[in-house]
Chains A and B, each alone.
Chain A
Amino acid sequence: MAKATREAYGNALKKLASNQNIVVLDADLSGSTKTVEFKKVCPERFFNVGIAEQDLIGTAAGMAIAGKVPFASSFAMFATGRAFEIIRNTVAYPKLNVKIAATHAGLTVGEDGGSHQSIEDISLMRGIPNMTVINPADSTEAEQAVLKAAEIYGPVYIRLGRAAVEDIYDETYQFELGKGVELRKGKDVTIIATGLMVQKSLEAAKKLKEENIFARVINIHTIKPIDRDIIIKAAKETSAIVTAEEHSIIGGLGSAVLEVLSDEYPVPLKRIGIMDEFGESGKPNELLEKYGLTEENIIEGCRKVMKLKNRL
């Protein structure tokens, strides 16, 4: 079944409503971010700050100082971009217990176009000390990630999407913060993916198998702190890696994986992501195709990286 991760966020907030410390803040997008679900069950602990993302984060910071566990939401573009310095200085520097759950991340926000497509939010959030960064692959993972974020202390960024994504997990799945998930075994190449590119990586691996190429698929839902062990193990055992993300190739998952490998065990790596360019209006699938985020792009990346490995 396909469901948007933002829908899961709304569900998770409803479950969290019984915790009296939870407060939810939104900047006039509660219908889209799904924080309205929390408002329905708990209006007294829901605060709309109006179209003011800096204030959204600053107010959440104050609430955290007073002992609340605020979830602050807007579109990823504005939550991370407009409010970046407030997130850095008011929230992360003093390590406040603020959760930023941002929706409409990536190209798949679609028709609104380049101004609304946040393709650098992972990079921005990852660069801030004390910040935990989570990018769930499906709605099950998203819901559990939100519940986990409420449990741990400190600033957390959760990246959510507008468009529906296929289910990867069933109800037995147990989200572990900071732990990558090996979704498919493989010895020839490893695809390390995050967010909606996990589904596409699984499809790519299936097709590669038809050519007798066995691709390992790893879901990195927690981009920071990243699971170094699973990455190094994959590098040692498959000697070739492709990363896939609905984000700029600069500063996101690909960069994070490269950093780990460069420190520990360099192997050929190909990044699948948005090249250093802005998006445009279009249907989500049209955009993913135009900007090189398809199964075929991943398969091509695998072939390329395996060639490089064989040359070594």
Chain B
Amino acid sequence: MKFDDLNLIAQNMRKNILTMIHTAKSGHPGGSLSAVEILTYLYFKEMNIESPTDDKRDRFILSKGHGAPALYSVLMEKEFIDKDSLIGTLRKINSKLQGHPDMNKLPGVEASTGSLGQGLAIANGIALAFKLDKKDNRVFALLGDGEIQEGMIWEASMLSSHYKLDNLTVIMDHNGLQIDGKNDDVMKVEPIADKWTAFGWHVIKADGHDFVSLEKAFEERKTIKGKPAIIIAETIKGKGVSFMENMASWHGKAPNDEELEKALNEVGGGK
């Protein structure tokens, strides 16, 4: 797939995300918009995934579960779930689109996540099982840069390298913000790359909104054997909507009618 096509998908995803959260009157636009290109690249370029149930498919775990609208959007664009019937149901009673992903309610959701810091261990478990069964499936997990403040992430990161999980790739959505403000002010996470390196990971840096950069990173990952790898993707929280970009206040707030219109106009033109 050409990058122009990926750009179009990313554009649609942004519209989906904003529409969903606006209709729900709650949700997390900031961290959903920052992950759009990463998810687009994974689902349309990198992962081997033809259907949400195919045994051979690669698995994606959204550890930062509040980015659910981004995951739902990519599943819609992938036509694994029906956009028209579902887009207005986010966070509503009896919906398949729970506030945080529920694997038993929606096909394509590989694990129930949302409580931060738990996704990497899940990804490890799946990757270990694939190794045990001598399967070639790969596992990808998207982590937020805030959630690595959870101790369990570091327990899990040790396990990934101890068991040499080279079928596992973590992408860290490094947008620098969490609910209470900048990561560096709330609880400093830097130097992030050094931390992952020290825990036995191969670290790759990328621009999380640039498909060329992402492609380079994922291609580099394929050359690394015998260890887990992390792509630290530099991103902008609220990417694509001027008044949301780099604003911690848009971590978990829905746009009103006027804000939605403005936001849709801004993302409509493409990247």
Contact = CB atoms under 8 A, between A and B. Distances in A.
A13 interface: no
A16 to B, nearest CB: 16
Contacts of B152: 52, 54-55, 58, 86
A61 B104 contact: no
A85 B117 CA distance: 11
B252 interface: no
Given A23-B129, A50-B159, A63-B129, 4 more contacts: A45-B132, A52-B152, A58-B152, A62-B121
A95 B112 CA distance: 10
Contacts of B110: 65
Contacts of B111: 61-62, 65, 90, 94
Contacts of B118: 58, 86, 89-90
A270 B162 CA distance: 51
Contacts of A23: 129, 132
Contacts of A153: none
Interface of A: 23, 44-45, 47, 49-50, 52, 54-55, 57-68, 70, 85-86, 89-90, 93-95
A262 to B, nearest CB: 31
**Among A50, A61, A64, A85, residue most surrounded by chain B Cβ atoms (within 10 Å):** A61
B11 interface: no
11 contacts: A45-B132, A49-B155, A49-B159, A50-B162, A52-B158, A59-B121, A59-B124, A60-B125, A63-B125, A66-B126, A68-B132
B158 A66 contact: no
B114 A61 contact: no
A62 B102 contact: no
B53 to A, nearest CB: 13
B122 A55 contact: no
Contacts of A57: 121
CB-CB nearest 3 A-B residue pairs: A62-B125, A58-B121, A66-B129
A18 B116 CA distance: 36
A94 B128 contact: no
A59 B139 CA distance: 13
A65 B122 contact: yes
Contacts of B121: 54-55, 57-59, 61-62, 86, 90
Interface in B142-159: 151-152, 155-156, 158-159
A58 B129 contact: no
B112 A89 contact: yes
Nearest to A89: B115
**Among A49, A55, A59, A62, residue most surrounded by chain B Cβ atoms (within 10 Å):** A62
A94 B103 contact: yes
Contacts of A44: 132
Contacts of A93: 102, 112
Contacts of A89: 112, 114-115, 118
Given A93-B112, A94-B103, A52 B155 contact: yes
Contact of A94 (B112, B132, B162): B112
